[in-house]
Chain A
């Protein structure tokens, strides 16, 4: 069946022609999908560094891609490159080292890491106390020169742009936990403007370090139920107590439908619309009335030219924090009305944890696989339902379903919310 090349608003339809993914479950879409619908958890004990004294000692680490001593920015680049290669190979676009469009990269902020600071401190020769002035004094020693580029925010995007041969200035961005969705949205907007026919959107996050764990712990955002690790993340359950920090990456090749069909590319799905709405209530908490979350979903429907009745599945933000899941329910209930209890909604984070800036991209890829396979991955660890959240969370076991249109929600610290409308075969 041929797809239309223009949407109801006369804009180019945006096809997805390639996807790639890495999570704690594995590398590549086949492996990930198999484990995801089997309800397998990727959450495990942290072995990469000592966890003595930490409240949280588990995470969704991507241990199978980690190499000893790897700095987070280096690992982010590695997994971003791997998912990008998978997506571009599937799309069959461009040639080696020449991707014919821009790069939008969602990633965590970069800074010097503790091992770097320890190296610098060791060179100071200071006896009692080590000050920053001491570190600056030794900074120009040639052996520390590589740390300069490692401290650059743009370094990952720069290396990826070199590797893939993307066009123009690579955009590195963050909207906290909504970043992956924002990267996709930026790609969609660029193609809709007619600036390009194809764009590469990647989200990658490898924030599992002692300091990240402490920072999120201090915000009371992380679960401290460390045993057993695979049962910690329990979105929408009454006994949920926080999210599980996780690593992951995903890539999407976005392409105008006209361009994709002209070259005979296989269409994996379409990004029908994107919605945003910021929350100015509080730095880490959502507006109690749910207005921004509601507005975000409604904006996505408007952009996609659909109504809530068209939505067959909701890929939840579903972090497993008491606050998020309650507010997501409030938003879904308001938007979907009496239908809210019947639309299946599930959280991938129950299995892979919260991949932070990558989550929007990772879960968009899983949503596309959900539509493609007509099978909904479960919300695992759902043993104690929360009576305040009467939703069909697809508890514990995957389920076959007829899904043409789905939404994927991402809500970030700092109030940045994104909702994507993804669809499969034309109606």
Chain B
């Protein structure tokens, strides 16, 4: 077994309801809750975080490519392009030809109009089975299938940006995002990959997702509040966002003269059955595994709390025991399932660069920004599963 290699993040691409790119997002985060990015009208009484205006043309120049994708794929391809540019490898055919990729992706948006017409018409159809077949055959667009398939986010990233070393897509919401990052980190550390893109996209402001989320009564409704303070059952605000990171071995990055944004220290993921107390116990266990590497006086936590209860309260308890300063991003960018962990790693990279935390918002955003920040721990507590934690640090 070859010794583990040092692993760097050398590129980040991020878009959310707050804006396009890390700097725009940081500017809005730094302004605290003064200019919230949520929309409580379009899907009232439900509250969502729609994507900020984005000029897709700059990363997806061909209109034909854009037409072949649904919005969630455009978001992901766009964020991947930003990350590749940020890492200085966009258009570098030699590197892209051997670059690996893991995406975390769910499915794309259904054709709401087609579904509604079928649901309306089938009740009076003489032969319901035949009616369904006929309507699907005549009304579904051929391209829609490809725009819905999870692995076609990666497929479109390959087509638009040229990453063709390898391509894998993990499914399973927040857990998929954490595991995509974990396995990317482990592969690079072990020498199974020199340079990889890990990416995800989520388009949450759509009716079919409101439906499946509300099956458990999980949507935030009526009144906005920070994720920590959303009442007994809590609620999550569906959001649209895209995040990608270029992950690279130190040797590979140095050889091409790339500047690191951060070093990855550890990525932990695990499973629990969500019995009372299990989320807190899982976070505590994952924290215990990375704690020996934490420099307490210079470390902070970026939380992935969704606002759902009891998971958010359990995370709050766990973080209280850990005792580092905490900021949750969900209050500002909403909840993006598969994409949330990568989004928070992106924000963590910017936190290292800025050397300070954004202002607190809500009862779980505890502690003051230390004078110096060299480490950021990022948590994931999924809407249903997906407890994970990552630790990145500044490279002196």
Which residues of A does B touch, CB under 8 Å? 10-11, 49-55, 107, 109, 111-112, 114, 117-118, 120-121, 126, 128-133, 135-136, 139-140, 144-145, 147-149, 151-154, 157-158, 161-162, 168-176, 182, 186, 189, 192-195, 210-211, 214-219, 276-284, 292, 412-416
Min CB distance A183 to B, Å, is: 10
Residue contact B172 to A153, C-beta cutoff 8 Å:
yes
User: In this assembly, does B167 line the interface, its C-beta being within 8 Å of a C-beta of chain A?
Assistant: yes
Residue contact B211 to A189, C-beta cutoff 8 Å:
no
User: In this assembly, does B164 line the interface, its C-beta being within 8 Å of a C-beta of chain A?
Assistant: yes
Residue contact A152 to B173, C-beta cutoff 8 Å:
yes
Given A154-B175, A219-B145, A415-B158, 20 more pairs with CB closer than 8 A:
A52-B130, A109-B106, A112-B211, A132-B115, A132-B208, A153-B172, A157-B172, A158-B385, A169-B175, A169-B179, A171-B183, A174-B169, A175-B151, A216-B145, A219-B142, A277-B166, A280-B163, A412-B151, A413-B149, A414-B149
Which residues of B, 187-221, contact A by the 8 Å Cβ criterion? 187, 190, 192, 207-208, 210-212, 214-217
Min CB distance A247 to B, Å, is: 18
The count of A-to-B residue pairs whose CB atoms sit within 8 angstroms is 233
Of the candidates B107, B116, B145, the one whose C-beta lies within 8 Å of that of A215 is: B145
Of the candidates A154, A169, A282, the one whose C-beta lies within 8 Å of that of B159 is: A282
Contact A139 B172, CB 8 Å, known A53-B137, A279-B158? no
Chain B residues contacting A277 (CB-CB under 8 Å) are 164-166
Of the candidates B127, B162, B384, B386, the one whose C-beta lies within 8 Å of that of A50 is: B127
Chain B residues contacting A112 (CB-CB under 8 Å) are 211-212
Contact A278 B133, CB 8 Å, known A118-B122, A171-B170, A412-B151? no
Tell me which of B8-16, B265-273, B359-367 binds A: B265-273
Chain A residues contacting B142 (CB-CB under 8 Å) are 218-219
User: In this assembly, does B1 line the interface, its C-beta being within 8 Å of a C-beta of chain A?
Assistant: yes
Residue contact A162 to B273, C-beta cutoff 8 Å:
yes
Min CB distance B233 to A, Å, is: 11
Chain B residues contacting A157 (CB-CB under 8 Å) are 172
Residue contact B119 to A121, C-beta cutoff 8 Å:
yes
Which residues of B does A touch, CB under 8 Å? 1-2, 46, 68, 101, 106-107, 110, 112, 115-116, 118-120, 122-123, 127, 129-130, 132-134, 136-137, 140-142, 144-146, 148-152, 154-156, 158-159, 162-173, 175-176, 178-179, 183, 186-187, 190, 192, 207-208, 210-212, 214-217, 269-271, 273, 384-386, 388
Min CB distance B273 to A, Å, is: 7
Residue contact B152 to A280, C-beta cutoff 8 Å:
no
Chain B residues contacting A49 (CB-CB under 8 Å) are 129
Residue contact B165 to A276, C-beta cutoff 8 Å:
yes
Chain A residues contacting B130 (CB-CB under 8 Å) are 50, 52-53
Residue contact A169 to B269, C-beta cutoff 8 Å:
yes
How many angstroms between the C-alpha atoms of A49 and B141 in the bound complex?
22
Chain A residues contacting B2 (CB-CB under 8 Å) are 10
Residue contact B133 to A52, C-beta cutoff 8 Å:
yes
Of the candidates B146, B154, B170, B215, the one whose C-beta lies within 8 Å of that of A140 is: B215
Of the candidates A53, A111, A182, the one whose C-beta lies within 8 Å of that of B168 is: A182
Min CB distance B116 to A, Å, is: 5
Chain A residues contacting B162 (CB-CB under 8 Å) are 280
Residue contact B166 to A276, C-beta cutoff 8 Å:
yes
Chain B residues contacting A169 (CB-CB under 8 Å) are 175, 178-179, 269-271, 386, 388
How many angstroms between the C-alpha atoms of A152 and B210 in the bound complex?
14
Residue contact B137 to A214, C-beta cutoff 8 Å:
yes
Min CB distance B161 to A, Å, is: 8
Min CB distance B355 to A, Å, is: 32
Of the candidates A107, A168, A186, the one whose C-beta lies within 8 Å of that of B269 is: A168
Q: Which 3 A-B pairs have the closest CB atoms?
A: A50-B129, A414-B155, A154-B172
How many angstroms between the C-alpha atoms of A277 and B97 in the bound complex?
9
How many angstroms between the C-alpha atoms of A216 and B142 in the bound complex?
9
Residue contact A415 to B192, C-beta cutoff 8 Å:
no
Residue contact A283 to B271, C-beta cutoff 8 Å:
no
Min CB distance B98 to A, Å, is: 10
Of the candidates A131, A215, A284, the one whose C-beta lies within 8 Å of that of B140 is: A215
Contact A130 B215, CB 8 Å, known A153-B172, A210-B132, A414-B149? no
Residue contact A109 to B68, C-beta cutoff 8 Å:
no
How many angstroms between the C-alpha atoms of A135 and B209 in the bound complex?
11
Residue contact A140 to B116, C-beta cutoff 8 Å:
no
How many angstroms between the C-alpha atoms of A283 and B70 in the bound complex?
14
How many angstroms between the C-alpha atoms of A198 and B96 in the bound complex?
32
Of the candidates B127, B141, B145, B186, the one whose C-beta lies within 8 Å of that of A193 is: B186
Of the candidates A131, A132, A194, the one whose C-beta lies within 8 Å of that of B1 is: A194
Residue contact B171 to A158, C-beta cutoff 8 Å:
no
Min CB distance A281 to B, Å, is: 8
Of the candidates A118, A130, A151, A283, the one whose C-beta lies within 8 Å of that of B155 is: A283
Chain A residues contacting B175 (CB-CB under 8 Å) are 154, 169
Residue contact A117 to B385, C-beta cutoff 8 Å:
no
Residue contact B171 to A148, C-beta cutoff 8 Å:
no
How many angstroms between the C-alpha atoms of A112 and B119 in the bound complex?
14
How many angstroms between the C-alpha atoms of A147 and B217 in the bound complex?
12
Residue contact B133 to A214, C-beta cutoff 8 Å:
yes
Of the candidates B123, B154, B214, B269, the one whose C-beta lies within 8 Å of that of A416 is: B154
Contact A280 B107, CB 8 Å, known A148-B216, A172-B171, A174-B169? no
Residue contact B156 to A283, C-beta cutoff 8 Å:
yes
Residue contact B140 to A214, C-beta cutoff 8 Å:
yes
Chain B residues contacting A130 (CB-CB under 8 Å) are 116, 119-120
Chain A residues contacting B146 (CB-CB under 8 Å) are 219, 283-284, 413-414
Residue contact A135 to B211, C-beta cutoff 8 Å:
yes
Min CB distance B18 to A, Å, is: 26
How many angstroms between the C-alpha atoms of A375 and B167 in the bound complex?
33
Of the candidates A111, A171, A175, A281, the one whose C-beta lies within 8 Å of that of B179 is: A171
Residue contact B151 to A414, C-beta cutoff 8 Å:
yes
Chain B residues contacting A144 (CB-CB under 8 Å) are 215
8 contacts between A and B (CB under 8 A): A53-B133, A109-B107, A111-B107, A158-B271, A162-B273, A216-B145, A278-B155, A415-B167
Most buried by A among B119, B175, B207, B210: B119
How many angstroms between the C-alpha atoms of A387 and B187 in the bound complex?
44
Chain B residues contacting A118 (CB-CB under 8 Å) are 119, 122
Chain B residues contacting A192 (CB-CB under 8 Å) are 190, 192
How many angstroms between the C-alpha atoms of A120 and B141 in the bound complex?
24
Chain A residues contacting B159 (CB-CB under 8 Å) are 280-283, 415
Chain A residues contacting B127 (CB-CB under 8 Å) are 50, 52
Residue contact B166 to A136, C-beta cutoff 8 Å:
no
How many angstroms between the C-alpha atoms of A416 and B212 in the bound complex?
29
Min CB distance A119 to B, Å, is: 11
How many angstroms between the C-alpha atoms of A131 and B115 in the bound complex?
8
Residue contact B171 to A139, C-beta cutoff 8 Å:
no
Chain B residues contacting A10 (CB-CB under 8 Å) are 2
Chain B residues contacting A415 (CB-CB under 8 Å) are 155, 158-159, 164, 167
Min CB distance B290 to A, Å, is: 16
How many angstroms between the C-alpha atoms of A402 and B106 in the bound complex?
44
Min CB distance B184 to A, Å, is: 12
